[in-house]
Structure 1
Amino acid sequence: MATAGHAIRGSRVGAGPMGESERGETAPRVRVSYWCANGHETQPTFCASEDVEAPDTWDCPRCGFPAGLDAANPPAPLRNEPYKTHLAYVKERRSDEDGAALLEEALETLRARRAGLRHAS
């Protein structure tokens, strides 16, 4: 089937001849400078309203470190804890003696259950 060149043309939201008068006035804005420990400067834009304050820290988009408002004293990078297994967390909470006692208790319970199954059959 051939088309006659009558395609439906769409437009995106906000496109067209509309200007400020139809969309309303934009809110006043202010750019705030943040610096990270690597010396990167980031300048996000915030609303310049009196009841809105810029945050004290902002994540640097280049390196991911936290950035602060003071270029001379940027915040220190966050220290990431290495991944720990479940066993590592258990070992932090219990001593070797506690672990041996719990293991022995679990083995006794298992042996008693198996002995009861042998007598039942």
Structure 2
Amino acid sequence: MASGGHAIRGSRVGAGPLGETERGETAPRVRVSYWCANGHETAPSFSVGEDVEAPTQWDCPRCGFPAGMDPANPPAPVRNEPYKTHLAYVKERRSDEDGAALLEEALEALRIRRGGRVAG
């Protein structure tokens, strides 16, 4: 399919005239190394400024563990709690006796409703 000479070739979004890559001065940056419990090192770069500080922890892009600035003492991996069901949360708030009392109350209400509907 012919484009009729209207296609823009050899350029990309954000490029200047004729695909120039010159965009001006870049902000001063510093690289900070972080290490995770698996021994992976990552070194993201951060802007340098008076009120700018690099974070003390960074997520490892390879394994997802937290990484710290001390290679000999990396932060411990975060322990994820397993998924809890609604019943597990209810059992945390109520004792077995409370649950039995509520169940009996609900069953009694059901018996009354069904007993009222039965023709005699």
Question: TM-score normalized by structure 2?
Answer: 0.84
Q: Which residue of 2 aligns with 1:59?
A: 59
CA-to-aligned-CA distance 1:2-22 (integer Å, 9 cap, x gap): 637524125322321252xxx
Count of matched residue positions in the alignment of Structure 1 and Structure 2? 116
Equivalent-residue separation in structure 2 for 1:27 and 1:4 (angstroms): 41
Q: Which residue of 1 aligns with 2:37?
A: 37
Question: TM-score normalized by structure 1?
Answer: 0.83
CA-to-aligned-CA distance 1:64-111 (integer Å, 9 cap, x gap): 100001111110001111112111221222121111100001111112
Q: Which residue of 1 aligns with 2:5?
A: 6
SS of the aligned residue for 2:117 comes to: helix
CA-to-aligned-CA distance 1:23-51 (integer Å, 9 cap, x gap): 33110000000011111111011001121
Q: Which residue of 1 aligns with 2:79?
A: 79
Q: Which residue of 2 aligns with 1:68?
A: 68
User: RMSD value over aligned CA atoms?
Assistant: 2.1
Instruction: Write the letter of the residue equivalent to 2:34.
Output: Y
Equivalent-residue separation in structure 2 for 1:84 and 1:40 (angstroms): 32
Instruction: Show structure 2 runs of 5+ residues with no match.
Output: none
SS of the aligned residue for 2:118 comes to: helix
Q: Could you say if the C-alpha distance between residues 37 and 24 of structure 1 is closer, same or farther in structure 2, counting changes exceeding 3 Å?
A: same
Residue 115 of structure 1 and its aligned partner are, at CA, apart by 2.5
Equivalent-residue separation in structure 2 for 1:17 and 1:108 (angstroms): 81
After superposing the two structures, state which structure 1 stretch, 10-19 or 24-33, moved more: 10-19
What's the % identity of the aligned pairs?
A: 77
